[in-house]
Structure 1
Amino acid sequence: MTAPPRKIIHVDMDAFYASVEQRDDPSLRGRPVVVAWRGARSVVCAASYEARPFGIHSAMPALRAERLCPQAVFVPPDFTRYRAVSAQIREIFSRHTALIEPLSLDEAYLDVSELRSGLPSATATAEAIRAAIREETQLTASAGVAPNKFLAKIASDHRKPDGIFVVRPSQVEDFLRELPVGRVPGVGKVMQRKLEALDIRTVGELRRPSLDELEQRFGRWGRRIYELARGVDERPVEPHRERVQVSAEDTFAEDLPLEALTPHIHRLAEKAWNGLTSKQGRIARTVVLKLKTADFQTMTRSLTRATPPSSAQELAELAGALRERVNEPAHTRYRLVGVGLAGLMDEGEMAIQGQLFDTF
């Protein structure tokens, strides 16, 4: 028998950090607020909706945000306060379901296929959650309601801010047909250009190639986008999802050339290794090196081996070797480096997955 479709809600707070600041300081309401430390190395944590028309968005350099909107009010982030509000919101979720998968402080998936609150539908539940958030925190949230996580996440962005959008099972094909492929999670700018070279710009057009064609071109990712183009996403909501990676990264006071990163890679490898050893019985075979250039381009290199690193020193050596796979021009300068271990698993799992492969 075919299982009934899930009922998934994706709740996303509206400009969360900036909205908390505007709530707590009435003088900020209606003004362009940028949550960021000031300084040459700082990046924007969040921007209020009043700041966004100026082109300001999260993760952009704070100096650029200041140039785009000289009248913006800069507020340093207060993560202790944001976490407290997030806990309040989480408690509201728990009144309706135990199946809650937080993605960050300001968004989460909820599986409301079996409701505990007695409401008649997933849509009514999403509306009740939004109303409770507004009443109890004086903040607004947007929600997407759909048969799976992929569709719910896209739907929550459809009526932002302070809106709700519902995708019923019978509406999936129409909802996706004209959606730009760039809206599909995981389709970044590089993948988007590759698809555009195949004359694929919408999710509807992404349904043209066969599964074999997409797998031949894009490997396992080809199967994934084949399924997403048809609205298929079988991932469950995971309330207690265990971390699958540990990492450490650092932003430098001054941009550095590639050859000057060695001591920083060794220091960060030590921190990442200490993070791994705190997770007793967990092992990771994949070593990850993350770099961010002076112009904010992010790149990663990774290596998966049959045997995991056995020490912080070996981790540092492997991360250093990954640096040699960076083919940027010699004059490139880097503002950030990170070292991580990905694919954490129990020792028993590791024993049955002892095959060697490299990833780039």
Structure 2
Amino acid sequence: MPAAPRKILHVDMDAFYASVEQRDAPELRGRPVVVAWRGARSVVCAASYEARRFGVRSAMPAMTAERLCPQAVFVPPDFPRYKTVSRQVRAIFARHTDLIEPLSLDEAYLDVTRSFTALPSATATAEAIRQAIREETGLTASAGVAPNKFLAKIASDWNKPDGLFVIRPSMVDVFLAPLPTGKLPGVGKVMRSRLSALGVETVGQLRELEAARLEQLFGRWGRRLHELAHGIDEQPVQPRRPTLQISSEDTFAQDLPLAELGPAVRQLAHKTWASYLAERRREPGRIARTVVLKLKTANFRILTRSQTLPLPPASAQDLAAIAWALHERVELPDSTRYRLAGVGLGGFVEADLFTAQRALFDAQGAPLPDGATDSASA
């Protein structure tokens, strides 16, 4: 017998950062609110729905937002406060299931196939969660209900803000067919253009291409496209996705030469180290061995330089020294100016395995298999 369809929710807070600001400052309600630092280099973290009517969107330059909506109220972001609210929301999720996969502070997947509550359906569960969020936080959330993750994410956006949309298994084919291919996860501008060249504009048209043909054209991604076009997504909700990288970055008020980036790199290293210590408290069994320096030039070229170490950094000062040393491997002219820098930690390994491996190689007098390897990309 085939397995019963899973019951997946995607819950997405509505204009989260801006909504928190409007909740906590009644004078902002009904006004176009933009969460961003003001300045030539700042970008929009969030925009209220009142601001979105003017075309303001997350990640656009703050100066563009100000031009589109001169009457907007700019509020600097307060991430500790947003994290506090996010924890409240996740506590509400946890009353219903332990299969919770956070994507960010304001959205998550939940698998409620086997819910903790006696609610009769996934739809009822989604409604209960939305009601609890409204009552306990004073905020609204939109939710999608579907038999898999990618459909649930599409559904949560269908009736925003403060909406609920359900895609039942029997609806999948009819629902997907007229959608533009850009609604499928991973199909961006480039892939849309390539599909359009094949005469494929909708998911229904994509469905007409055989899996073998798509695989021939796009490799393994072609097989994934075929599955998505048919509403197939077997990826489970992963409650604890392992951290791959921790980083901090900053855009400068004005472009700087490489030689003047030292103080910024050291400051970013300390921020990254604080986040790394918090991650170690959450997952003490994993350590990071790769240090990454990221730079963005004035003409938006991105460079990364990294080093994987035989021993992980021992302190914020250690991380800062290693990160700054990586700037010596940047081979651009001295006249190059940089608008952004970032410091990251990656290359996570299991601490017990690393300790055992190191003891083995120390006993043999040999270096670790990948001791002190370097990599660079631009």
Tell me which interval the TM-score lies in, with the shorter structure as reference length: 0.7 to 0.9
1:42–1:156 Cα change, 3 Å: same
Unmatched tracts of structure 2, length 5 or more: 312-318, 358-368, 371-375
Alignment of 1:72-151 (within 5 A): 72-151=72-151
Paired letter, 2:340: L
1:203–1:140 Cα change, 3 Å: same
Alignment of 1:129-278 (within 5 A): 129-255=129-255
Shift of 1:203: 1.7
Shift of 1:293: 6.0
1:124–1:275 Cα change, 3 Å: closer
Pairing partner for 2:340 from 336, 341, 356: 336
Paired letter, 1:247: S
Shift of 1:156: 0.2
Paired letter, 2:145: V
Shift of 1:231: 1.2
Paired letter, 1:96: H
- The count of residues paired between Structure 1 and Structure 2 equals 349
Verify the 8 A CA contact 1:284 1:308 in the aligned structure 2: no
Shift of 1:302: 9.5
SS of 2:192's equivalent in the other structure is helix
Shift of 1:157: 0.2
Give CA-to-partner distance per residue, 1:39-96, whole Å, 9 cap, x none: 1221111000000011111111111111111100011111122112111111211121
Verify the 8 A CA contact 1:5 1:147 in the aligned structure 2: yes
Query: How far apart, CA to CA, are the structure 1 residues paired with 2:230 and 2:290?
Result: 31
Paired letter, 1:87: R
Verify the 8 A CA contact 2:255 2:338 in the aligned structure 1: yes
Unmatched tracts of structure 1, length 5 or more: none
1:21–1:64 Cα change, 3 Å: same
Paired letter, 1:239: P
Verify the 8 A CA contact 2:36 2:77 in the aligned structure 1: yes
- Name the residue aligned to 1:9: 9
1:302–1:104 Cα change, 3 Å: same
Give CA-to-partner distance per residue, 1:174-215, whole Å, 9 cap, x none: 111111122222222222222222222222222233333333
Query: How far apart, CA to CA, are the structure 2 residues paired with 1:228 and 1:255?
Result: 43
Verify the 8 A CA contact 1:102 1:239 in the aligned structure 2: yes
Alignment of 1:39-58 (within 5 A): 39-58=39-58
Q: Percent of counterpart pairs with the same letter?
A: 64
Verify the 8 A CA contact 2:292 2:323 in the aligned structure 1: no
Q: Which has the larger radius of gyration?
A: 2
Shift of 1:168: 0.6
Verify the 8 A CA contact 1:39 1:62 in the aligned structure 2: yes
Query: How far apart, CA to CA, are the structure 1 residues paired with 2:106 and 2:341?
Result: 26
Query: How far apart, CA to CA, are the structure 2 residues paired with 1:88 and 1:8?
Result: 21
